[in-house]
Amino acid sequence: MALPVPVVRWVTVSRKGKEKETAAMSASPATEYGVLVGDPPLVSFGWGDLLLQYAATFAQQIRATLFQELGYRASAGVSYNRFLAKIGSGLNKPDQQTVILSSQAESFLYSYPVTNIPSLGGKLGALVENAFGAQTAGDLMNHTVDQLALKLGPEQAQFLYNRCHGIDDSPVEDSKEPGTLTSAKNFMRFPVESLSKLDRWISMNSVDLWTRVIEEWEMRKRWPRSLTISFTPRGQNQRSKTTAFPLRLAKGAQNSPDALAAAVRMCLSTSDTEADSAGRGRPPRHQSIPMTQTSGMFPMIGFSLTAKSFQRELASASMMERWLIRPRNNA
């Protein structure tokens, strides 16, 4: 016996059975599940839409938990594939989620700019605009794959066709091991004028990066071997310097963001000294960050810390670590 087709309601229904007017009258209804794009029905049918409603509820719970426990606001996208969910996540920032139903995907994409489509913002997007005079995905919907292939080749033609029609068969996979972890801060509006004023951001970024490195250690038993400190003086290109990442020590030893912040301060102070030496005509001790004067670092509009060169700890490493930090007699 076949199961009945589920009825999916996208608006809150009162005890009297009347739909909330605010949801029904909106061009893009803002429901308890998020903003529904296009002109969707407030009641839909099918197992696919029911699954999306469950997914929207789950996303809502995650966002609420983020705000309650960490104070962070977040947006989210919910749809029947990764591509549309990614687009949806950016539509109603910073504190709302967007639901794109399968019945509304093509009508929504029809007016969506080509260069806003993921993977079409660079050279491929510019090529598509020039080759077909297309500004939106709707401008390409009447082209077949063969017609697109005449100017793009078969592989890119199929990719473009799928994107314009909301097709994406790529699976959702567990995240891979990150090659790097970065904590960054932008000072475009209020540039930092000195190393002393940068100090609070050194502390904050160090705590942020250290927390993520500890999470990586607890999850995969990997620890970074190098630390890259990058900064961008106003009107100049980004500069960077790499030093050793602080070693992970056993419980009872110094094992906190303070060690990371100290390493960053030491590295930047060395850079500052090198710059001053170069400005006075003396050769700097290191050549990784060329500068001509102490003020070359400032005013600073960008700053980041990156942990890289992760290595997995061997079983024997723990034994060596315990031996190194063992109590020693003064005799």
User: Tell me: the pLDDT tens digits for 87-107?
Assistant: 999 999 889 999 999 999 999
Q: What band does 315 get if pLDDT is binned at 50, 70 and 90?
A: low
Q: What band does 248 get if pLDDT is binned at 50, 70 and 90?
A: confident
pLDDT on residue 122: 80
Residue 253 scores a pLDDT above 70: no
Residue 20 scores a pLDDT above 50: no
Residue 213 scores a pLDDT above 50: yes
Q: How far is it, in rounded angstroms, from Cα 160 to Cα 39?
A: 25
Q: Which two tokens stand for residue 71?
A: 């104070």
Residue 323 scores a pLDDT above 60: no
Q: Which tops the pLDDT comparison, 209 or 27?
A: 209
Helices (H), the chain: 21-25, 47-70, 82-89, 105-110, 123-132, 145-152, 154-164, 195-220, 257-279, 315-324
Mean pLDDT across the chain, nearest whole number? 82
Q: How far is it, in rounded angstroms, from Cα 100 to Cα 52?
A: 9
pLDDT on residue 325: 53
The DSSP result for 71-123, as a single string, is -----EEE-SSHHHHHHHHTTS-SS-EEE--GGGHHHHHHTSBGGGSTT-SSH
% pLDDT > 70, the chain: 80
Selection from 34, 42, 56 nearest residue 7 by Cα: 42
Q: What band does 7 get if pLDDT is binned at 50, 70 and 90?
A: confident
> pTM for this one?
0.59
Q: Which residues contact 232 (CB under 8 A, 6 or more apart)?
A: 238, 239, 300, 301, 302, 303
Q: Which two tokens stand for residue 291?
A: 């500068």
The answer to whether 63 and 71 are in contact (CB under 8 A) is no
pLDDT on residue 23: 37
Q: Which two tokens stand for residue 33?
A: 């599940």
Q: How far is it, in rounded angstroms, from Cα 108 to Cα 314?
A: 52
Cα distance between the two ends of the chain: 85
The answer to whether 207 and 287 are in contact (CB under 8 A) is no
Q: What band does 296 get if pLDDT is binned at 50, 70 and 90?
A: confident
Residue 153 scores a pLDDT above 50: yes
For the segment 169-191, the average pLDDT, to the nearest whole number, is: 89
Instruction: Quote the distance between the C-alpha of residue 224 and its chain's center.
Output: 20
The answer to whether 112 and 37 are in contact (CB under 8 A) is no
Q: How far is it, in rounded angstroms, from Cα 300 to Cα 195?
A: 10
Residue 252 scores a pLDDT above 80: no
DSSP-derived pairing of the beta strands 239-244 and 222-233: antiparallel
Residue 266 scores a pLDDT above 60: yes
pLDDT on residue 184: 94
